[in-house]
Amino acid sequence: MVAAAILAGWTLLAVAHVGDRYKLDHVSGVRMALAQYFTHGTLYPDLYDGSFYGGTRFMPLPIVLHGTLAELTGEYLISGKLLAYGVLLALLAVMLGLLRAMRCPLPISLSLVAGVLVTKTGLAAGMELRADTLPLLLQLLAVATVAHTRRPRGTVAAGAFAALALVSKLSAVWAPLAICTWLVIVDRRRLVWFLTAYGLLTGALLGYFGAVTDNRLFENVFGLSTAGVNGLGSLLRGPYVLLHLLVDQATATWALFPVVAGAAWLAAKRRELSIYLVSLAWCLVVMCVVLSDIGTGWNQLVDLVVLTALVVGELAGRLRLDPATPVAVASALALLLLWLNLTGLVVVMLPDVRTTLASLPASRPYSSKPLAGRVSPATKLLSEDPYVPVSLGQRPVVLDPFMLQRLGRRDPAAVARLVERIRAREFDLVVLVIPLQPVDTEWWREMHFGMPVVEALADSYVYSGTMDGYHLYRPASTDSPRGEG
């Protein structure tokens, strides 16, 4: 019943917000801008073409899928939401199928699947457009295919799933690492089949996308893959950030770690090697490396949330088949999941459900047309969120504000040109995600735009209010040496 309530709450949120910006941020805006480029015949824009600034770490498959769907719908927001919903539902269906194949009791299986949706990272993963669920689904299919078939055909299929995952997300490597580790122990002959298929298909896909983009794929994704890593010392950041994010964004998963430890102890005692435990271990390693990049965050946790649920479900299935398992153990696990799901439902999901129900009769609070009435397609915009110009049919001047200062390190003259345009007050309106002042903050120094651009904005533009969650700035009068606000 609790699982059904969670699924009903998620369905309400999904239907009510399919056409608005609920759970979308500037990163989702980058995805929509890339889909816009694709529909206009360009997969990955130039890093700088004299007027517009590119730069992204999105891999090509999500862009192609989103852009293709956008060509059918004629817009970029609803098409992205529908794609996100479909991938998440497929992921949950695969999870449920795997849990039932593990002999996990149906109530426990449903609780584990629903529990993904009441973590903050799980709820957002199915609503936003950061392209985390697609590579997770493909990696899960790769692991499951290897685990449930010994035929070479199945091993080759697993290599194909893993290769598709890599062209969906650059850090989607825990599955091939786990598969190789597992096959080294259980079946080295199949390891050769997997590595051959994975290597050939990955090379073919990257070669194809590199060719059709005139190597812009490699300039963007691989050239900027470590843009947020500041030396080897950054690797020490990963474990700390992971622990912090787990507590804040995926508390239910954090609470299940003692159960995971019990599953690992039982597997070691019985000398049983679980590919899902191996996957979880590699996922933790990969996440510690990924989170050393300051441009990564909470969205990375969804892989960990799903794999933890599968390990717990596998343990429940083994305990169910063991006649020596005390009833109290199964009851304790069921009560733990019930408590975690109820807590997540009340704390994470219900506040959004109440807000959504309250706003249904009136205008929705996450308008699909931000700044409507304030700007027009003719307005010259510089926006921190690329979706604002995309919603007006414009091409964003800056595709990704996180990448701009990284581009500046490679081509200082390109960013200097943008600074000149700002000081010349070329833009009618500047749209920011957070307030411009104070200028000397970590957000501007380390994350977005960079200090030369931000200082030029502070000198040349003045605060003009907020609208639809954005902070607006208009050109300062030419007789004012420095903007206020």
The pair of structure tokens assigned to 40 is 């206009």
Q: Is the dihedral of CA 192, 193, 199, 204 positive or negative?
A: positive
Query: Same domain, yes or no, for 323 and 405?
Result: no
Give the pair of three-digit tokens for residue 222: 């691989």
CA distance 293 to 229: 5
Residue 276 near residue 143, CB atoms below 8 Å = yes
Alpha carbons 47 and 103: distance in angstroms, whole number: 51
Q: Are 219 and 341 contained in the same domain?
A: yes
Write down the pLDDT at residue 228: 60
Q: Beta-strand (E) ranges in 358-439?
A: 381-383, 429-432
Residue at a domain's end among 293, 324, 348: 348
Residue 348, classified by CB atoms within 10 Å of its CB into exposed (0-12), middle (13-18) or buried (19+), is buried
> Among residues 335, 271, 356, 340, which one has the least CA distance to residue 308?
340
Question: pLDDT (tens digit, 0 to 9) for every residue of the chain, 485 residues total?
Answer: 999 999 999 999 999 999 889 999 899 999 999 999 999 999 999 999 989 999 898 999 999 999 999 999 999 999 999 999 999 999 999 999 999 999 999 999 999 999 999 999 999 999 999 889 999 999 999 999 999 888 889 999 999 999 999 999 999 999 999 999 999 998 888 999 999 999 999 999 999 999 999 999 998 888 777 666 666 666 677 788 888 888 888 888 888 999 999 999 888 888 888 999 999 999 999 999 888 888 777 888 999 999 999 999 999 988 886 776 777 888 899 999 999 999 999 999 999 999 888 876 554 567 788 888 888 889 999 999 999 999 999 999 999 998 888 888 888 999 999 999 999 999 999 999 999 998 888 889 888 888 999 999 999 999 999 998 899 999 998 655 454 44
- Give yes or no: residues 44 and 188 share one domain: yes
Do residues 269 and 402 both lie within one domain? no
Domain that holds residue 466: 381-475
Report the domain count for the chain.
Answer: 2
Do 150 and 236 belong together in one domain?
Answer: yes
Buried b (16+ CB within 10 A) or exposed e, 12-50: bbbebbbebbbbbbbbbbbbbbbbbbbbeeebbbebbee
Find tokens 């271990």 and name the residue: 281
What is residue 364's predicted lDDT score, i.e. its pLDDT? 54
Is residue 408 one of the residues assigned to a domain? yes
Q: Among candidates 330, 276, 335, 325, which has minimal Cα distance to 101?
A: 276
Tell whether 374 is covered by a domain.
no
SS3 37: helix
Asked if the structure places residue 360 within a domain, the reply is: no
Q: How far apart are CA 293 and CA 231, in angstroms?
A: 10
Are 413 and 468 contained in the same domain? yes
* CA geometry: angle 260, 264, 269, nearest 5 deg: 145
What 3-state DSSP class applies to 325? Answer: coil
Residues 246 and 328 reside in one and the same domain: yes
From 303, 333, 348, give the residue that closes a domain. Answer: 348
At residue 434, the pLDDT reads: 92
Cβ neighbors of 286 (< 8 A, separation 6 or more) are 171, 173, 174, 177
- Examine residue 367 and state whether it is found in any structural domain, yes or no: no
pTM: 0.92
* Contact status, residue 64 vs residue 38, Cβ threshold 8 Å: yes
- What is the per-residue pLDDT for 344? 93
One-letter amino acid of 24: L
**Beta-sheet strand order (sheet of 381-383):** 381-383, 429-432, 470-475, 461-467
Q: Are residues 299 and 394 in the same domain?
A: no
Q: What is the largest CA-CA distance in the chain?
A: 85
Residue 353 belongs to some domain of the structure: no
Structure token digits, residue 430: 């500047």
Residue at 398 is within a domain: yes
Give me the pLDDT at residue 363, please. 47
Tell me whether residue 8 is in a domain. Answer: no
Q: Rg for the chain (alpha carbons), in Å?
A: 24
Kindly state whether residue 54 falls inside one of the protein's structural domains.
yes
Q: What is the pLDDT of residue 233?
A: 63
Residues 223 and 303 in one domain: yes
Query: Do residues 144 and 234 both lie within one domain?
Result: yes
Q: Describe the crossing of helices 2-16 and 106-117 by its angle, rounded to 10 degrees.
A: 30
**173 and 294 together in one domain:** yes
Domain boundary among 307, 331, 348: 348
Q: How many angstroms separate the Cα of 277 from the Cα of each of 61, 100, 149, 266, 281?
A: 28, 17, 18, 11, 6
Same domain, 311 and 453: no
pLDDT of residue 365: 60
